[in-house]
Structure 1
């Protein structure tokens, strides 16, 4: 089966070059650029990629960029490998993924193991590397890197272009509703370069996740999916409701109310045996950032405000 690759990026520099160079065996490579000023467009063209430059007068989303790349895929192409510009496809991945889809006509999307290139660089990179290690087998969703059947992707209308985050799980919901399967195999797929070295970056990434949880729950929170309902509820309870309740109770009952704050270290100790102490601390701390992101979504929805990306790089 014929395959194309769609890479999206903006000012990725050397990471984009590494991404494109790893796609040497793919005949059709499409690079969707989102207003780069670092020579990315010229570099992609020099490597033989078809470049699609997004109109940046319109609000940018990764979903919109992926749809633009999908629109440029020739009709004869049967599969498309999506990649972010800060990812490098691993040797052997494409052959393995294609063979899997060839053998499983009921599967629309296949993804593999995405790893961080430098997990030792920061605790945040290590956390993300662990986040990518999802169970092997039938899955509910994929991430930004995945091999998909072009016809099925187009049949469900592609990505929802107005989502600023969480666009892949939302797409997978619609594919599964149409009767198709999503599958995660154990093969090495991509190396990702998050470059998160500061707490502020990690906080922004967690805030973006909270926004995605809230919007995903608003779109598909009803039965049978209950999409991200639990995640949204946890963020709002631990990141908003409990702190507000503790402060309010302290104003009425005095400083002894602050004892309720012990709920947070207790939650860390509850999670630590399963995920480790450091990930448990960040899991609990992240609920405050997620709550901020969820509130941002609700505020924009209620006021009709403009969507804005939540970027951490």
Structure 2
């Protein structure tokens, strides 16, 4: 099996980061044992069986000190340059390759996630027999979906179809050579950097694959509408940026998503407002599109065997998210016209 290394990123993750590092150490040792190597001495001394690089983006909660005490390589990003997840991952990958040049596969993990038992052995086995696959990802679950409707929404969003995929999230196992062939992440992107990189990988005939196995659990800690609102502003910004970067007539990348955002959050409300004066009935018919789309989404969720409560919540929040997403689209347009870079949009 090719050598594996880890890149972990975080900022003020606190106890979540401690659990994250512990889960990586445990799975690293488990993978080492599965290859027939004796990892007990390293484990007893608190040493990882595989190299781990942690990249910190300005934490003030002792994250750097803790990870260093766990025997990991630690890089604290210079705050003179804007923090982004893409910049952090690129920095971690570069350091990993320079210090551990034998590493061929890289597992990326966000600092608010826990790696699930068995993931490394299953994802490694998949990459071993599928040389055309650049990235393999699995099921990411929300740790506390019952704490808020917003956490539950995250959990449902991550339940993506198994098989060849167009993109992945922040946790995945990748071939180093594939990442290097496209210069990995775009460090200037404040969001949506994973699907953008996957787009470039697919253009180079690499494949992205989602397998059915459990990969990580994630603590979104999203308990307020404000967090939901900010998260979707960021999502709208990311859709607009990726569309502007890559959309062509032959490949309308993200055009459908941006068009949908503009339709539901701007065009229909504006037309309904105009017709409220010219033709009230036409205005009502336009507004009826909202309960219609809610019903459509609800029935689709039910068909996928989600509970009535979760299906209802999902069907309400997805159309509602279009409005802050539209603000994100406008924010990207404003930054593009002004030539000014937008600061990272954080929701927690």
2:212 matched to 1:186? yes
Once superposed, what is the RMSD of the aligned Cα atoms? Answer: 1.4
Matching residue of 2:306: none
Contact 1:97/1:110 (<8 A) preserved? yes
SS in 1 for 2:333: helix
* Match 2:256 to one of 227, 230, 234: 230
SS in 1 for 2:65: helix
| Per-residue deviation, 1:262 | 2.4
Alignment partners' CA distance in 1, 2:107 and 2:17:
15
Alignment partners' CA distance in 1, 2:282 and 2:131:
58
2:76 matched to 1:47? no
Residues 187-217 of structure 1 deviation map (CA, whole Å, 9 limit, x = unaligned): 1000000011111111111111111111111
Matching residue of 1:64: 87
SS in 1 for 2:190: coil
| Per-residue deviation, 1:180 | 1.0
2:53 matched to 1:18? no
Alignment partners' CA distance in 2, 1:131 and 1:125:
10
Alignment partners' CA distance in 2, 1:173 and 1:224:
14
> Aligned ranges for residues 118-137 of structure 1 at < 5 Å?
118-137=144-163
Contact 1:59/1:307 (<8 A) preserved? no
Matching residue of 1:4: 5
- Give runs of ≥4 in structure 1 deviating > 4 Å: 254-258
Matching residue of 1:300: 335
**TM, length-normalised to structure 2:** 0.87
| Number of equivalent positions | 312
Alignment partners' CA distance in 2, 1:200 and 1:256:
34
Alignment partners' CA distance in 1, 2:255 and 2:221:
30
| Per-residue deviation, 1:258 | 4.5
2:322 matched to 1:282? no
| Per-residue deviation, 1:248 | 3.2
> Aligned ranges for residues 1-313 of structure 1 at < 5 Å?
1-24=2-25, 25=28, 26-73=49-96, 74-250=100-276, 252-253=277-278, 258-259=283-284, 260-275=286-301, 276-313=311-348
Residues 65-93 of structure 1 deviation map (CA, whole Å, 9 limit, x = unaligned): 10000111122100100011000101110
SS in 2 for 1:284: helix
Alignment partners' CA distance in 2, 1:149 and 1:225:
26
Alignment partners' CA distance in 2, 1:117 and 1:295:
33
SS in 1 for 2:237: helix
| Per-residue deviation, 1:247 | 2.4
**TM, length-normalised to structure 1:** 0.96
Alignment partners' CA distance in 1, 2:213 and 2:66:
29
Which segment is superposed worse, 87-96 or 266-275? Answer: 266-275
